Amino acid sequence: MRARIYKLDSFTTKLFSGNPAAVLPLESFLDDTTMQAIAAENNLAETAFFVREGNDFRLRWFTPTVEVPFCGHATLASAAVVMERLEPGRARVVFHSRSGPLTVERRNGAYLMDFPARRLTPLAPDKKVADALGTIPVELCADNLNNYVVLLDSAQRVRDLTPRLDAILQLDCTGVIVTAHGDDGYDFVSRYFAPAKGIPEDPVTGGAHCALTPFWAKKLGRSEFHAYQASRRGGSMRCRLAGDRVEIEGRCVFYLEGDIEDLGAAGER
């Protein structure tokens, strides 16, 4: 048994930047152990698997160590595979997932994704968070997927941050989003650390912006933003808060297309 695999760089217009994702279109889902093994072998922040469901698709995401309930950049990559390889000319796709239906539309060479906004809960200052990041947060809150959202005092502080990943692992959260007012023409910048998911630092995170968009909408009193995730690879997106949804617009480029050999033998381990 062979399976087609695509690798793309998301939230970028050039190779070797943005966030890489692997995408596997399947006739039916493989067993969870095999899909997790494929994700570990790919060793990317996420590998996406999808199967057709009527005119739509059912979508799942795996990090190298766990299945996750949501992933923005691999949804973007999956939409590009559907609309540029499987059904060229298609302009809209709906993925059904553990986070509900996710709609992606192609617009002027980019993809507009409709995601659920995350609820934010203010938290008291936490010395463990400050120690893990090596800097004192201006503000701390949590989103409804158990990520901390940490406001720092400058974009340069976000860019220069060298957190202690072992200490982040000890925090009562699945990941830490750090953010600050933007520079270089961006409204805000961010980074995302999730060692508990097997992702020391995620290069560009669509899901984090489902929390960052309502966070900055409240602070800046508007709903549309041009955001930059300041990881080593880096990547940008446009975000808009629309009620309880977040619209994220991004681009991606294909890096690799091929086949995984002999998945039947993999299932015999």
Mean pLDDT across 100-113: 96
Q: Does position 120 have pLDDT exceeding 90, yes or no?
A: yes
% the chain with pLDDT above 70: 98
Q: Does position 102 have pLDDT exceeding 70, yes or no?
A: yes
Which band of pLDDT confidence, cut at 50, 70 and 90, is reported for residue 269?
Answer: very low
Residue 188's Cβ-side half-sphere holds a number of Cα atoms within 13 Å equal to: 29
Which band of pLDDT confidence, cut at 50, 70 and 90, is reported for residue 9?
Answer: very high
Paired tokens of 193: 């650390």
Neighbours of 259 (CB within 10 A): 10
Q: Where in the chain is the domain with CATH 3.10.310.10?
A: 3-109+251-266, 120-238
Q: Does position 266 have pLDDT exceeding 90, yes or no?
A: no
Cβ 24 vs Cβ 49: under 8 Å: yes
More confident residue, 237 or 1: 237
Q: 40: part of which helix (H) or strand (E)?
A: helix 32-42
Phi, psi of 250 (to 5 degrees): -150, 170
Mean pLDDT across 86-95: 96
Mean pLDDT across 128-143: 98
Mean pLDDT across 7-28: 97
Paired tokens of 215: 């966070």
Known catalytic residues are 46
Give bridge partners of residue 219 from the DSSP assignment: none
Q: Is 123 helix (H, G, I), strand (E, B) or coil?
A: coil
CATH of 120-238, one of 3.40.50.2300, 3.20.20.450, 3.10.310.10, 3.40.50.300: 3.10.310.10
> 118-125: which pairs have CB atoms within 8 A and are 24 or more residues apart?
118/143, 118/144, 118/145, 118/210, 118/211, 118/214, 119/143, 119/144, 120/144, 120/149, 120/211, 120/214, 120/215, 123/148
Report pLDDT for 1: 80
Q: Does position 54 have pLDDT exceeding 80, yes or no?
A: yes
C-alpha–C-alpha distance, residues 64 and 263, integer Å: 18
Mean pLDDT across 189-197: 97
Q: Does position 70 have pLDDT exceeding 60, yes or no?
A: yes
Report pLDDT for 265: 59
Q: Does position 262 have pLDDT exceeding 80, yes or no?
A: no
Superfamily of domain covering 3-109+251-266: Diaminopimelate Epimerase; Chain A, domain 1 (3.10.310.10)
